[in-house]
A and B are shown apart, each in its own frame.
Chain A
Amino acid sequence: MAEKLLEVKDLKVYFEMKKGLAKSLFGKPEILKAVDGVSFTINKGEILSLVGESGSGKTTTAKAILQLVPVTGGSVVFNGEEIVGKSDLTEFRKKAQMIYQDPYQSLNPRQYISDIVGEPLEVNGLVSTLEERDAKIKEALEEASLIPAEDYWFRRPFELSGGQRQRAAIAGSLILKPDLVAADEPVSMLDASIRTGIIDLMLKQRDMKGVAYLFITHDLSLAWLISDKIAIMYLGKIMEIGTAQEIVHESRHPYSKALLDIMPIPGKTLTEKRKILQGETPNASADIKGCKFCGRCPLATEICFEEEPTYKEVSPGHLVYCHKVEEEKTSD
């Protein structure tokens, strides 16, 4: 059996909203539930994609796992060790890294590429001599296909194209040889033709070094392409989680189905009108009593507005957060 790397249980991240003085003195504080009870596991060398619209809590989940935002509740076990509330995170930081969305903003414009990539080594005191440092940077740059490394050594980010910048950012994250990388929409800013090169680079690291990824994206087809497992998020909750094939071809939750239904397939002419969900995602600070999705769900009935659904296992590892799923089964 595959070895468990990360286990997230009932993770919650709440933010208190800022408001006027009078309200903050007399009213109840308004709470924004960015992540509201998320659980999943990632095995070594596995890729789990979090898919959802903006505001669904994908990025906050990743940041909470990496302890970059305060966690309100739940547990994060990494390599068998509880991370939430741990005071010394030095070891954890070396083993869990993040890649950000926008390579135009995530790199320091005043630094040389070699310094950006090599900084984690110095911060963590992993190299003692200059030669050792340079050798490691060279290796990292070459692994990221920035070849020859010397050409990029004394360049600054503005001299690189978007794809090259993202490669440099990835080289910086991978230089510490992490076990887990949280990649927050790493290719959404890049052109389609550049995109696959970056994906390829990330997959190679997985195959060669067993890096596991928490991959955040809004693009379901991309998630399907690379992931072992996919979790569909909506308003801070996982709606459905399963293998990539299960989510894309045997989805059970109405929200996953809606997302799949609007996916444009190049070259396929439409035979019938798409079922597009009307309205927009409600504000995450809104108090929703029942199912988070009830307001926009085409199948919603009374119970959906009253009671929160539980996760139902429709097949091993394929969990669905919906009242209607079992009913479907019995009626079949």
Chain B
Amino acid sequence: MKLLEVNDLKTYFKTSKGYVRAVDGVTFSLDHGECLGLVGESGCGKTTTALSITRLLPKGGEVKGGQIFLEGVDYATLTDKEIEDHRWEDVSIIFQGAMNAFNPVKKVGWQIAEACIRHKGMTKDEAWKRAGELFELVGIPAERVTQYPHEFSGGMKQRAMIAMALACDPKLIIGDEPTTALDVMIQAQILELLEDLRKKLNMGMILITHDLSILGETCDKIAVMYAGRIAEMGTVDDIFNHPAHPYTKALLACFPNIYSNERTVPEGIPGIPPDLIDPPEGCRFCPRCKCAFEACSKETPEFKEISEGHFVSCHLMGKEENHG
């Protein structure tokens, strides 16, 4: 059985102007020990997808359709009470901006111990000991469990955040921009740590980021999201070396490559992402797409498998076949 299967997930936010279709038909799956990178620009629904899986959506957000199977249990239909038993134990999340994710007036170790007491039924002493072990695991001296968040540097807070996510041995861990606020050197340290832990503990992992360049080394699969949908999904090699969707190609071209001989400023992608209250008909990338033709603004392209495990949602795929 797959670890995680997300089928046609739809998460909408209610606003006074209507529903914002933040996630609108997302499908993917993940095996045990596998890492999926979820990449896209701000507002494309990456974080909402993660929050839907953990059912931590902010007020107004609602899973409107689709299924989220984690080891066969459909998280989309569980009640708020039921999901509490699964959260942290089966799936945990490393939040964006470790700087602000901890409670500043409680000891860091205690914030981790709390989860162990609630979910594992440990005594206070056991839980403190467990917090110390977790600190060692992520590379912080165990004696620092009694310190407060302000005594930690940014990189250490992020490490502690990871320790917290590991507290109850989850099967799936979701990192929501885990390195965005950090310096490049610390970013490399954290990514290496996540990679080591995933292999050691055989966890499934979803890594959410807007920086496509960091995914190459950490992930097995990459899903490129645009305006609430997955534009393209495939292995790291598929996405980087054989991208098929015009958006993926344009996004890749935005990152300068220091090993190319010429220094030319990439074109970028003109225009801005669509309004998700009233998204355009057909393909959502159509208004910004250089290759768009008639069908693009009329029909929603289907999510087609062009080679094993490589899915693309683009009308061009069918077109080429017809011509060939």
Partners in one complex: yes
Asked whether A262 is an interface residue with its Cβ less than 8 Å from the other chain, the reply is yes
Contacts of B187 in A (CB 8 A): 262
Q: Indicate if B186 sits at the interface (CB-CB under 8 A).
A: yes
Q: How large is the interface on B (under 10, 10 to 19, 20 to 34, 35 or more residues)?
A: 35 or more
**Bound Cα distance from A174 to B211, whole angstroms:** 30
The answer to whether A195 touches B254, judged by C-beta atoms less than 8 angstroms apart, is yes
Closest to A221 in B: B256
Interface status of B263 (Cβ within 8 A of chain A): yes
Whether the Cβ atoms of A262 and B184 lie closer than 8 Å is yes
A322 CA to B61 CA, complexed, in Å: 55
Q: Are B216 and A274 in contact (CB under 8 A)?
A: no
Q: Which parts of B7-48 form the interface with A (CB within 8 Å)?
A: 41-42
CA distance A73 to B258 in the complex (A): 36
Determine, out of A87-95, A107-115, A175-183, A265-273, the stretch whose residues face the partner at the interface: A265-273
**CB atoms of A280 and B153 under 8 A apart:** yes
CB–CB B250/A193 < 8 A = yes
* Pair A258/B185 contact, Cβ less than 8 Å: yes
Is B213 a contact partner of A266 (Cβ separation < 8 A)? yes
CA–CA, A116 and B187, complex, Å? 36
* Chain B proximity of A60: nearest CB distance (Å): 16
The smallest beta-carbon distance between A79 and chain B, in angstroms, is 28
B100 interfacial by beta-carbon distance below 8 Å: no
Interface 0/1 of B217-253, CB less than 8 Å to A: 1000000000000000000110011000000001110
Q: With an 8 A cutoff between CB atoms, is A38 at the interface?
A: no
Give the Cβ gap from B89 to chain A, nearest Cβ, in Å.
32
Q: Is the CB–CB distance between B216 and A265 below 8 Å?
A: yes
Decide: A218 near B216, CB < 8 A? Known: A192-B251, A195-B268, A267-B241. no
Q: Is the CB of A196 within 8 A of B185?
A: no
A177-207: CB near B (< 8 Å → 1, else 0) gives 0000000000000011111110110010000
Give B215 Cβ to nearest chain A Cβ, in Å.
Answer: 8
Distance of A97 Cα from B259 Cα, bound (Å):
33
Closest 7 CB pairs of A and B: A267-B240, A196-B268, A193-B269, A53-B183, A262-B188, A192-B254, A191-B41
